[in-house]
Structure 1
Amino acid sequence: MVIITGLALDYCVYYTAKDAKKLGYNVYVVQDATRGVSNVTSVGAITDMDSRGIRMVLSSQLTAVMENLTSAGFILQSPCFSWKTTVFIIVGLFLHMLVPL
């Protein structure tokens, strides 16, 4: 699972989400923890991500997302969460630069 936040929704977050999905991850973009450059390109990015099976969630939904996991893995602990699974949280990284187009 990959959970993505950061700037900008319609560029860095969008391409990172697409590439993570291409690599086979279940991808979640935290909509209230990202912001786009423009409304037009943000709507287009959200529409495309939805068509690719990339889930848009709110930060308030993350606990429910994590509770639905069934795979065992590492225990992540912080003041924000404590779940037993392997999770990648990407904040404004450029994963798309690592994946061949």
Structure 2
Amino acid sequence: MSIIICQAPRFPIRRILRCATCKTRRRMLVVDNGWYGTSITCCHCGDTWQDGERALRSNKRGWRKEAAAKATTGWIEAGTYDPAAHQAWFEHQMGYET
């Protein structure tokens, strides 16, 4: 038996935003998830929000440190934001290409 797990196309974006958990401005990894909207993860506390709601927290020990490290890695890999590249990516996802 084989299992196939699909993930929506993603476009990572670096942002400095106010974290509702940390109560201060933090590095945030914003990920545009194509058809599923945008998720925002704090690189300090590891909390994630999508569609204005905080995502469920894991009950796994050490989840916060792990989520923050993963977000920080994604934030570094995102590089400098390029609006034209983001627009081209979005149009490709929506099938607007000519």
**TM-score computed with the length of structure 2 as normaliser:** 0.29
Higher alpha-carbon Rg: 2
More helix by share: 1
Greater relative CO (CA pairs within 8 A, separation 6+): 1
